[in-house]
Structure 1
Amino acid sequence: MHFHRPGNASTTGHLQNHSGARLPDDLATMSILDLPVDILLLIFPHLDATSFLHLSSTCKALHNADFLNDAAFWSTLVRTTFRVPNQPTAQHDGKRWQKLYKRLLTQSRIYTWGDNDKACLGHSYDAPAAMARLGPPRARRVNALRRRHISWPAEMNSTENLGVISDVQCGGWSTTMLTAKGTLYTVGVLDGLQFDQRRAPFMQTPARQPTALKYPPGFVQLHERNDSSTAIQQFSTGRAHVLGLADSGRIWSWQNIELAALHVMFLNHDTKEDGTAAGRGTVHKVVAGWNKSAALIEGIGIVLWDPLQRGHDDTAIEDAVLVLESAVVPNTGYRRSKGKKSTHTADTNPDIAETVDQVGNFILLEHVLLFSTDIGKVFAAQIFWDDHEQRVGEPVEITISDSETEIFATDVQGSFRSFAIFTRDGNVLTSNQDRLMDLLRDNQAPDNLFTRIPALQHRGVISVAFGDYHFHALHSSGHITSYGNEPQACGALGLGGHGDPEGRLRGIRYQGMGGDGRLVPHAYTEGRRVWFEEEKRDWIKFLTAGGVDAEEASQRMRMALGTPDVRCQGEVSEWIEQQGRDWESKFGLKGEEDDELGAYFALSVTAAGWHSGALVLVNEELAAKVQAACEVRESSSTTAEGEEDAQDPPAEDANSSLLSYAVSTALDYGRWFLGLAPYNVPAPTPHNAPHNNTAGAASNRVGEQIHVPRNYGDSPREGYKYVWAKHSFPRLVLSNGEEMPGEVGFDEWRFARPEFDLDAGV
């Protein structure tokens, strides 16, 4: 039936059938508001945005927040319109989904960072032609490493013509994106270890720009037209392969960007490919793991198999592979029918509905599969897979309790060897495969099974993405926090640095010959946010150069960044974090936009190996306003708050200025290591110094070998200065009462200094 709004100004409508005939009197006099609220909520998800807003505007009763921000409607609309994956921990936040719908149309961007091995970040930094122009061999090696390691989020190249991007996932050597039209694009290589004997270097050739994944001949390529058999509704990226679930229910598998997909079929299981959303054989989700593929199939359960391989010598007409060897995870076949309290289950255990219930989500680790169920439980099952057997062990329940109270688990997320369990009360419990093995082998959970990182508890965490040694948390407010380590200062944490002072000021300790980075324990109390704003990077570059007076700040910088004691580095990095966390309100722009999502709002985060990525909604207008608020004309003498700056330094002679420059340059090189004197690198000749003699030429060669930045974060462009150009390196009173040395006043905390839990790190 249709709803018809009466022609008069009445706030109620009467029901008519589709032909216009009036219904019986008892129904004809019924208004929309006489319907139970539950019926209205069932109707909403079937409307488009325009129809929904028209219906809600028919009367005041429907035009209230409970209806306008209905979570079921807006989450369904966003996920069906843009193919955005469901986020269980945020599925009841209707206001958030409504804002996302408005911004996804024009503002989705992909940012990546970390190790750019095999061009997996989609950046062009390691192009051979560019490497040839970087100078002498030593300089080429240094610059090549710096360009391969990207420590700040950078927007992926050539994505502007892909349309709305709805999801992004990292693989071992790749990054794959899903568009709102159901097309998959990938950069890097899917399998960095697979040999390709057609041409040197006999490995898969990296795709440096987003490349659409292909289908076999005869199937509709999505750039031609939309087709349910090839339009992907959900996908998963493993270490070396990609699985895609099409709108029709068909499973596709890729292991090489250059080769067409293979249609996955099972010898022992039938799957539905008619596009219906329910019934035995319907595939509800696919997961590509470290070394296995998996799918949740209604009436069967979670099915595992080895990733498929297509060779270059395969016939062109081959479009499907029959999986001969697969395994079903026990007790995962139950599925509750809508509108019924109990249903038949394919499992032999009649109590499965009460003991396990329906699978909600599942993940594949290296040797373990975990799944959560609708009654708040999480189970783990060990995978046994070799030449003699291919099976999955009996699932073991992971007991999650707080004292004597059992905790309701809402989701499980993870990859490779790490995972996280989400609870209904807002906690996020992290763990790893090694700890879990003790439970699976001995059927007794170890005392240290879970870690409770303070920065993840009751902080609106929506998802957690794990790489090999680092991980990120996405918060409902749209920001990303980083944890763990980054090998060889590869930038996987996204906090800046690459071994340089910027990373140290964010709380990274670089150690060993390879410069492995590890977050200070202080970072696990409040978290360290990933910055997307360019001006923030200039600000921290300015601080690492010593601020307005590098000579005056040298003792504080040595104390904060150049000593084995982590206390000062941890607390200064937390002070930096608080300033960056409140960036927009600091310049009077917070809440200026009616959607309150900020200039950069992360919709999803992903990680694998040594790199990471994020789908970010960018409000370019607001971002420009924030940037403009950070700038003043060079003649201005006011600070960000509009007050006369009290930190104007006295005039210095040429020698003093040169000394400050030398110290600043030494700091910017990042040539100092923990526990060593940080000021032992000779400064190169300034850009404006004469070099028409032998000494000058020698100094210039030093300058060529080590990059000297043109500015130290005090100026965005000629004629302008940043509002912090006359600020000093922070001076704090530490938590133990110690005062940092210096001649400037003490800086106040933007928020209260947190109570640091130094034993909370991973």
Structure 2
Amino acid sequence: MPSSLTDLPVELLLDNLLPIVPLSDLGNLAATNRTLAVVCADDTFWRRKCQIDFNFTSSETARTSGWRTLYRGLFRPRIFVWGERANGRLGVESVPSQAGGGVPYPIEVKIPGRRIVSLVAGGMSFNALDSNGMMYVWGTLNGEGHAWTTDGFAERYKTAKVPHQLVLPLPIRTISCGRLHTLAMDAKHQVWTFCNWGRPFKLVSPLVDCHAPDTTPVQVEAGWGFSSILTQAGDVLVYWQSSGIMGRRVHEKMEQLNEQEETKAHATEEHKIPCWTWDLEEDPFRLPAIPELPHLPNTGLSEEKLKEQTKLIKIASFDNNLIGLTNKGHLLKYYGLDNENMFTGARWEYLSKFSDVAELARHPVFNDDDNPSEAPKTMHITHITAHFQTFVAYSTGASSIVLVGNMDTGPLSDPDVPSSLQNRSVISVVLGDYHKGALTSSGKLLTWGAFSEGALGLGDPRKLPLGTPGGYRSQQALDSARRRDHIPEPPSVEEPAEVRFDMDGREAGRKYAFAATAGGWHSGALVLSLEVRLVYIPECSSSDSLSVNLYRSAAGKG
């Protein structure tokens, strides 16, 4: 019979006891002795609490630590967006006065009373999830046409100038955006497709049967113009929601529903959109199984992991192409995704130079006589992302590797290895049309690429010092820009530069970005403040003192 809590197995404490301890008592428990302080600081425990208490899984990032700090910040997360302002995509009633078509620095979007834990950019919009799984949208899902003021959100061209809540049957767990459509997976792993915000349809098919483990969806990925699903068995399913047979069925249903006033999804005064949901019974196309793949050396995986069946665990979709990642770190590309000619030249290709550390070591960047970089000794790619014409594969940890490919990348292609992103603890890479961003485990957001009406978020180039990333390179160009009634395009940013979230000068204190997104010509981030007052407790080390204070702050005890 154990005489104290410290006599109990650690697993029992973490899995069974601590989860039911009120948050207000965790700080007191951690302060009793060093052992309990260490147990209460366990990252796995706080990661689980982030998911249970806030619906925050961080599935779109490679975060492996810092969960207790994040838990505290999730009580008051903040939304920042920047870039192109057309189509209402910045989600604020009054956009700061700018000489141009965008806002080149972060501005805050507020959704009163809601804790936003996920932010995803569409082609001309933003989508967000709160801690209860409620979905919010702003901007225009499809900005290629016009909607009348009297139209409801069954019209795909309708603009939400400020955040609107979608009233859906079940809480949403994940969102993915293409250029003109959105996919969502709900709490029951059911897949929803949004060709407009007012009439999403649920895909019904034996291939996505949530009652059978192998056919249960685990990820949804919206490509540039198509949709894709990864199942628990590792199968990949694709469909075209706006063309072909399915596109015609969707159009016919929309035409039928247009005859009924109650299905037009007019927003309420409280900025809620009562969605008219419907089921589409249609089988998506199942891609062929992946080919037999070679053993990868020096991945750092355990023998137990290496013995597991090799299967796809992540997908990333872009323009008529799809990237797949296996549990062993193999990267594959599926070529020829064409709704009209699915069987013409379509195939999986293994990208060995993105997967095998021995092959990567032969890359020119690691063999440059004038400026050689040190090749990695081990590598296990764990995350992928894709958008438009670009894809990125990366690993985790302080020695993280970031590899970039494009539409033309094939089995013999070398990846682009941006030296400024290697070994930076990158946990997320986000892609717009012509700009990119990387989020680090320390909460820094780095951006590079084209200005794109301010999508980099580095500041007004007319106010930045010469030579500053995002600014002009000559006094002549700067003087010319200051005389114009719009912002001339400054040079592209080649090296990643840090985005600041206090450019208005009104707020002090360091900001910590814990999620980022990009799409089209705009970007966004979820941010928290890191203003922590340390409390010294003799029984704990300095780092444990910080942990205890985090628990007390989260509980409102100061």
**Deviation at 1:410?**
2.0
Residues 120 and 187 in structure 1, CA contact (< 8 A), matched pair in contact too:
yes
Higher relative contact order (CA 8 A, sep 6+): 2
1:444 matched residue in structure 2: 412
2:186 matched residue in structure 1: 246
Does residue 453 in structure 1 map to residue 426 in structure 2?
no
Does residue 477 in structure 1 map to residue 388 in structure 2?
no
Does residue 208 in structure 1 map to residue 161 in structure 2?
yes
**Deviation at 1:199?**
7.3
Residues 449 and 493 in structure 2, CA contact (< 8 A), matched pair in contact too:
no
Matched to 2:4, the amino acid is T
Distance 1:534 1:520 in 2: 19
Return 5+ residue gaps in structure 1 as ranges: 14-30, 131-142, 221-229, 335-340, 344-352, 539-582, 585-597, 623-762
1:181 matched residue in structure 2: 132
Alignment TM-score, normalising by the size of structure 2: 0.73
1:672-751 residue pairs with structure 2 within 5 A? none
Residues 208 and 217 in structure 2, CA contact (< 8 A), matched pair in contact too:
no
Residues 214 and 260 in structure 1, CA contact (< 8 A), matched pair in contact too:
no
Distance 2:81 2:55 in 1: 21
1:283 matched residue in structure 2: 217
1:529-608 residue pairs with structure 2 within 5 A? 529-534=498-503, 536=505, 599-608=510-519
Residues 396 and 427 in structure 2, CA contact (< 8 A), matched pair in contact too:
no
**Deviation at 1:86?**
2.5
1:664-675 residue pairs with structure 2 within 5 A? none
Distance 2:146 2:416 in 1: 39
1:15-414 residue pairs with structure 2 within 5 A? 31-32=7-8, 35=9, 37=10, 43=16, 47=20, 50=23, 53=26, 57=30, 60=33, 62-65=35-38, 67-87=39-59, 90-93=62-65, 96-105=66-75, 107-125=76-94, 146=100, 148-156=101-109, 158-161=110-113, 163-193=114-144, 204-215=157-168, 220=169, 230-257=170-197, 259-266=198-205, 269-272=207-210, 279-299=213-233, 301-307=235-241, 309=250, 312-315=254-257, 316=263, 319-331=278-290, 357-389=310-342, 393-400=347-354, 401=357, 402-403=360-361, 407-414=379-386
Distance 1:207 1:318 in 2: 19
SS at match of 1:313: helix
Residues 495 and 506 in structure 1, CA contact (< 8 A), matched pair in contact too:
no
Residues 153 and 532 in structure 1, CA contact (< 8 A), matched pair in contact too:
yes
**Deviation at 1:54?**
8.2
Residues 141 and 158 in structure 2, CA contact (< 8 A), matched pair in contact too:
no
Return 5+ residue gaps in structure 2 as ranges: 243-249, 258-262, 264-275, 294-302, 363-376, 534-558
SS at match of 2:256: coil
**Deviation at 1:237?**
1.7
Residues 71 and 91 in structure 1, CA contact (< 8 A), matched pair in contact too:
no
Residues 461 and 474 in structure 1, CA contact (< 8 A), matched pair in contact too:
yes
Residues 321 and 407 in structure 2, CA contact (< 8 A), matched pair in contact too:
no
Matched to 1:321, the amino acid is L
Matched to 1:517, the amino acid is P
Matched to 2:46, the amino acid is W
Residues 470 and 482 in structure 1, CA contact (< 8 A), matched pair in contact too:
yes
**Deviation at 1:606?**
0.5
More strand, by proportion: 2
Residues 365 and 433 in structure 1, CA contact (< 8 A), matched pair in contact too:
no
**Deviation at 1:87?**
4.9
2:373 matched residue in structure 1: none
Q: Could you give the per-residue CA deviations for residues 246-284 of structure 1, whole angstroms, max 9, x where no partner exists?
A: 112211111222x22111122x514116xxxx8222221
Residues 62 and 428 in structure 2, CA contact (< 8 A), matched pair in contact too:
no
Matched to 1:398, the amino acid is S
**Deviation at 1:178?**
0.5
1:642 matched residue in structure 2: none
Matched to 1:70, the amino acid is D
Q: CA RMSD in A?
A: 3.8
Report the CA distance shift for 1:475/1:45 in structure 2 as closer, same or farther (over 3 A).
Answer: farther
Distance 1:51 1:509 in 2: 48
Does residue 496 in structure 1 map to residue 459 in structure 2?
yes
Q: Could you give the per-residue CA deviations for residues 583-615 of structure 1, whole angstroms, max 9, x where no partner exists?
A: 97xxxxxxxxxxxxx542111110001100111
Residues 82 and 90 in structure 2, CA contact (< 8 A), matched pair in contact too:
yes
Distance 1:410 1:515 in 2: 39
Matched to 2:130, the amino acid is T
SS at match of 1:124: coil
Report the CA distance shift for 1:89/1:192 in structure 2 as closer, same or farther (over 3 A).
Answer: closer
Distance 2:93 2:467 in 1: 28
Matched to 1:433, the amino acid is N
Which stretch shows the higher mean deviation, 233-242 or 45-54?
Answer: 45-54
Matched to 2:321, the amino acid is V
Distance 1:251 1:167 in 2: 18
Report the CA distance shift for 1:52/1:491 in structure 2 as closer, same or farther (over 3 A).
Answer: same
Matched to 2:231, the amino acid is I
Alignment TM-score, normalising by the size of structure 1: 0.55
Residues 63 and 427 in structure 2, CA contact (< 8 A), matched pair in contact too:
no
**Deviation at 1:92?**
3.1
Report the CA distance shift for 1:84/1:504 in structure 2 as closer, same or farther (over 3 A).
Answer: farther
**Deviation at 1:504?**
4.6
Distance 2:73 2:457 in 1: 24
Distance 2:68 2:163 in 1: 29
- Structure number with greater Rg is 1
Does residue 611 in structure 1 map to residue 504 in structure 2?
no
Residues 606 and 614 in structure 1, CA contact (< 8 A), matched pair in contact too:
yes
Matched to 2:337, the amino acid is F
Distance 2:309 2:285 in 1: 22
Report the CA distance shift for 1:409/1:270 in structure 2 as closer, same or farther (over 3 A).
Answer: closer
**Deviation at 1:56?**
5.9
**Deviation at 1:50?**
3.6
Residues 105 and 503 in structure 2, CA contact (< 8 A), matched pair in contact too:
no
